[in-house]
Structure 1
Amino acid sequence: MTRLPLQAVLFDMDGTLVDTERLWWEAVEQVAGRALTESDEAEVLGRPVEHTADWLAAATGAPAADLADALHREFADRVRAGIVPRPGALDLLDALARDGVPTALVTASPRAVADTVLEALGASRFAVSVTADDTDRTKPAPDPYLAACRALGVDPAACVAVEDTRTGVSSAEAAGCTVLAVPSLAPIEPAPGRTVLPSLEGVTTERLRTLPTAAAPSHELRVMSWNLWHGGTKVHDHLAKQLKVIAETGVDVVGLQETNGTAAEELADALGWYHHRAGENLGVISRHPITARFGDPAVGFYGAAGVRVRAGEREVDIWTAHLDYTPYGPYESAFDGLPAAELVAHEQVRLAQMRDALHRIEEAAAPGVPVVLVGDFNSPSHLDSPDVEWPVTKAAEAAGLRDSYREAHPDPAVQPGHTWSPIHALHEDGSGRPEPQDRIDFVLHRGLRVLHSQTCVSGTPRPWPDVEHNEWPSDHAAVITTFSLRE
Structure 2
Amino acid sequence: MTRFPLQAVLFDMDGTLVDTERLWWEAVQCVATGLGRPLTEADQPEVLGRPVEHTADWLARTTATPSGRLGERLHDEFTDRVRTGVVPRPGALELLDALARDDVPTALVTASPRSVADTVLAALGADRFRVSVTADDTPRTKPDPDPYLAACAALGVDPARCVAVEDTATGVSSAEAAGCAVVAVPSLAPIDAAPGRTVVASLEEVTPDRLRALVGPRLRVLSWNLWLGGAPVDDHRAKQLKVVLDTGADVVGLQETAHTATAELADALGWHHHQAGENLGVLSRHPITARLGDPDVGFYGAAGVRIAVGSHEVDVWTAHLHCAPYGPYEADLDGLPAADLVAHEEVRLGQMRETLGRIAASGRPGVPVVLTGDFNCPSHLDRPDVPWPVTLAAEEAGLRDSYRRAHPDPVRSPGATWSPLHPVHEDDPSRPEPQDRIDYVLYGGPGLDVADSRTVVTGVPRAWPDVAGNDWPSDHAAVLTTFTLTGPR
TM-score interval w.r.t. the shorter chain?
0.5 to 0.7
| 1:436 shift after superposition | 0.5
The equivalent residue for 2:307 is 309
The separation in 2 between residues aligned to 1:451 and 1:408, in whole angstroms, is 7
- Counterpart of 1:421? 419
CA distance in 1, matches of 2:485, 2:217: 5
State yes or no: 1:460 paired with 2:424: no
* Corresponding residue for residue 479 of structure 2: 479
1:374 pairs with 2:372: yes
Residues in 1 aligned to 2:429 and 2:219: alpha-carbon distance in whole angstroms = 43
1:310-366 C-alpha deviation (Å, 9 max, x unpaired): 011100000000000110000111111100110001000000000000000001000
- CA distance in structure 1 between the partners assigned to 2:375 and 2:246 by the alignment: 26
Indicate the SS of the match to 1:481. strand
- Alignment partner, residue 470 of structure 1: 470
Residues 48-87 of structure 1: pairs in structure 2 closer than 5 A: none
SS of residue matched to 2:364 = coil
Structure 1: distance between partners of 2:216 and 2:433:
41
Contact 2:454 / 2:481 at 8 angstroms: preserved in 1?
A: yes
CA distance in 2, matches of 1:423, 1:431: 13
Report the AA paired with residue 453 of structure 2.
Answer: S
Partner residue, 2:394: 396
> Secondary structure of 1:375's match?
strand
- Alpha-carbon distance in structure 2 between the residues aligned to 1:380 and 1:401: 16
Q: Distance in 2 between matches of 1:260 and 1:432?
A: 32
What is the SS of the residue equivalent to 2:412?
coil
Q: RMSD across aligned C-alpha pairs, in angstroms?
A: 1.5
Q: Are the equivalent residues in 1 in contact too, given 2:216–2:484 (CA < 8 A)?
A: no
Q: Which runs of 4+ in 1 moved over 4 A?
A: none
In 1, Cα distance between equivalents of 2:296 and 2:480 = 27
Letter in 1 for 2:454: Q
Q: CA deviation at 1:431?
A: 3.7
Q: What runs of 5+ residues in structure 2 fail to find an aligned partner?
A: 1-194, 196-213
Aligned to 1:290: 288
Name the aligned partner's letter for residue 220 of structure 2.
R
Moved more, 278-287 or 427-436: 427-436
- Residue 259 of structure 2 corresponds to residue 261 of structure 1: yes
Q: What is the aligned partner in structure 1 of residue 358 from structure 2?
A: 360
Q: What is the CA-CA distance between 1:218 and the residue it aligns to? A: 7.9
**Partners of 1:377 and 1:350 in 2: CA distance:** 8
Does structure 1 conserve the Cα–Cα contact (< 8 Å) formed by 2:216 and 2:486? no
Query: 1:406 pairs with 404, 415, 434, which one?
Result: 404
- Residues 218 and 312 of structure 1 are in contact (CA less than 8 Å); yes or no, is this contact kept in structure 2? no
Q: 1:221 to 1:464 in 2, by over 3 A?
A: same
For residues 377 and 437 of structure 1, the distance between their equivalents in structure 2, rounded to whole angstroms, comes to: 14
Tell me the TM-score normalized by structure 1. 0.55
Q: For residue 235 of structure 1, what is the aligned residue in structure 2?
A: 233
Is it true that 1:440 corresponds to 2:438 in the alignment? yes
Listed as ranges, the gaps of 5+ residues in structure 1 are 1-211
Query: What do residues 176-224 of structure 1 show as CA deviations (whole Å, max 9, x unaligned)?
Result: xxxxxxxxxxxxxxxxxxxxxxxxxxxxxxxxxxxx9xxx998210000
Q: Report if the CA contact (8 A) 1:307-1:317 is conserved.
A: yes
**Secondary structure, aligned partner of 1:357:** helix
1:181-192 to 2 correspondence within 5 Å? none
Q: In 1, distance between residues paired with 2:222 and 2:430?
A: 32
Preserved contact between residue 221 and residue 485 of structure 1 (Cα < 8 Å): yes
Which residue matches 1:275? 273
Task: Classify 1:340/1:410 alpha carbon distance in 2 versus 1 (closer, same or farther; 3 Å).
Answer: same
Secondary structure of the 2:425 match is coil
Identical positions, percent: 70
User: Judging changes above 3 Å, is the alpha-carbon distance between structure 1 residues 341 and 223 closer, same or farther for their aligned structure 2 residues?
Assistant: same
Q: Deviations over 1:230-263 (max 9, x none)?
A: 0001000000000001111100000000000111
Which residue number in structure 2 is paired with residue 321 of structure 1?
Answer: 319
Larger radius of gyration: 1
Distance 1:470 1:300 in 2: 29
Q: Is the 2:225–2:478 Cα contact (8 Å) retained in structure 1? A: yes
- In 2, Cα distance between equivalents of 1:289 and 1:332: 43
- Partner Cα distance (1:283, 1:217) in 2: 30
SS across alignment from 1:221: strand
Counterpart-to-counterpart distance in 2, 1:478 and 1:468: 19
Contact 2:217 2:484 in 1 (8 A): yes
AA aligned to 2:245 is A
Partner SS, residue 267 of structure 2: helix
Aligned partners of 2:456, 2:369: CA distance in 1, in Å?
A: 22
Q: What amino acid does structure 1 have at the position aligned with 2:260?
A: T
> Could you tell me whether the CA contact under 8 Å between 1:218 and 1:311 is conserved in 2?
no
**Using CA pairs below 8 Å that are at least 6 residues apart, which structure has the higher relative contact order?**
2
| 1:126-165 to 2 correspondences below 5 Å | none
- Rounded to whole Å, the distance in 2 between the matches of 1:333 and 1:453 is 27
Whether contact under 8 Å (1:372, 1:445) holds in the other structure is yes
